[in-house]
Amino acid sequence: MEYYSLKMRASQQVGEGEQKHEQHISGAERIVNRDSVEAVCMAMVRRAMTHSKGDPDFINVKIEKVHENDIQILKALPVTRIDVESWQEGLEKAFGLINKTVSDGLLREARNDVIKDIAKKMPELLQATFPMRGAMLYDIATGERLEPDHERGVRATYMDALHSSEVDGCKNHFNEAIVLATKVANAPGMVAEFCVSDDPNYVTGYVASKELGYVRIMKMKEMGDENGGRIFLFDSRKAKAEECIEYLQKKKVLVDVGV
Ligand code: WAQ
Ligand code: MG
């Protein structure tokens, strides 16, 4: 089988004079077989041209051949869900799960020398992710941030669902998130991921890890709130940060979501 990676990003010029800059409107990426390249490309352009954030001034579509031998196939994380009454309760549950995953991991390895109460730290970390386009890479061993560029963050890329021939022009939050979360959970040294969408109308978020699986938490922020972010919790004693970042940004992954 011949595969191609397709990536789209669209932006709009905003501001006047000195303030003039490109604002991100929409982005998408796929790994598909040769036969789907044209249709998926069209769907991406449609997605960019009809985005609610505005009309693009610039659309970049990149198409690259991917060798089958370079692709890793992963089984999707198992999915569970937690219903909550309020977003406050949702966040609390999410932080609790993160705490449990981190401390269970440390117990398994008979380590108790590091940050035990990560949950206390999470609100501050989450806040710091709001302006970022990528994720924060946080080292639970040292309490340091490991993104080469703190403003941008680290972006997981080159991933898609296996056998997905879908050429949908609009975003399915869950389908995209399960693919991303599965790739992230398999990165060297990764302990857990925490995610809240930055889409003001999408209040469901998740926490994920190999042990937890993908846990959807149905409310994690107030409707209308455009703040969201991702935190990748990493342990620098398990792997090198460069290895982890290399995997997130370069490794081609197809996720078997069982459809
Ligand atoms: N790599 C790293 N970080 C990313 C990436 C990426 N490829 N894409 C987005 N982010 C960061 C970025 O800072 C965004 O602000 C933040 O994550 C949220 O991204 O089961 O839609 O694309 O229904 O808004 C969860 C689905 C949807 C829950 C999450 O995230 C469910 C979502 P968004
Ligand atoms: Mg978004």
The 10s digit of each residue's pLDDT in 44-77 is: 999 999 887 789 999 999 999 999 999 999 999 9
Cβ 174 under 6 angstroms from ligand 1: yes
Q: Check whether 113 has a pLDDT greater than 60.
A: no
- Choose one of 80, 159, 197, 212 to mutate for the ligand 1 pocket test, by most ligand atoms within 8 angstroms of C-beta: 197
Query: Residues 13-53: pLDDT tens digits?
Result: 999 998 998 888 888 999 999 999 999 999 999 999 988 77
For the CA of 135, the nearest atom of ligand 1:
3
- 108 Cβ contact list (under 8 Å, min separation 6): none
Q: 230 CA to middle of ligand 1, Å? A: 6
Phi and psi of 186, rounded to 5°?
Answer: -95, 0
Residue 221 sits at the vertex; the CA angle it makes with 220 and 223, to the nearest 5 degrees, is 130
Please give the residue that has the higher pLDDT: either 23 or 221: 221
CA dihedral of 201, 166, 36, 7, whole degrees rounded to 10: 20
Residue 191 contacts residue 107 (beta carbons within 8 Å):
no
Q: 26 CA to middle of ligand 2, Å? A: 9
pLDDT of residue 186: 98
pLDDT of residue 52: 78
Query: Residues 151-197: pLDDT tens digits?
Result: 999 999 999 999 876 666 567 899 999 999 999 999 999 999 999 99
For the CA of 134, the nearest atom of ligand 1:
3
- Choose one of 30, 133, 174, 201 to mutate for the ligand 1 pocket test, by most ligand atoms within 8 angstroms of C-beta: 133
Strand partners, 195: 206, 230
> Per-residue confidence at 114, pLDDT binned at 50, 70, 90?
low
Mean pLDDT, the chain, rounded, equals 93
Q: Check whether 258 has a pLDDT greater than 80.
A: yes
Please give all residues whose CB falls under 5 A of ion ligand 2, grouped by chain where several chains appear: 198-199
d(CA 232, CA 239): 14
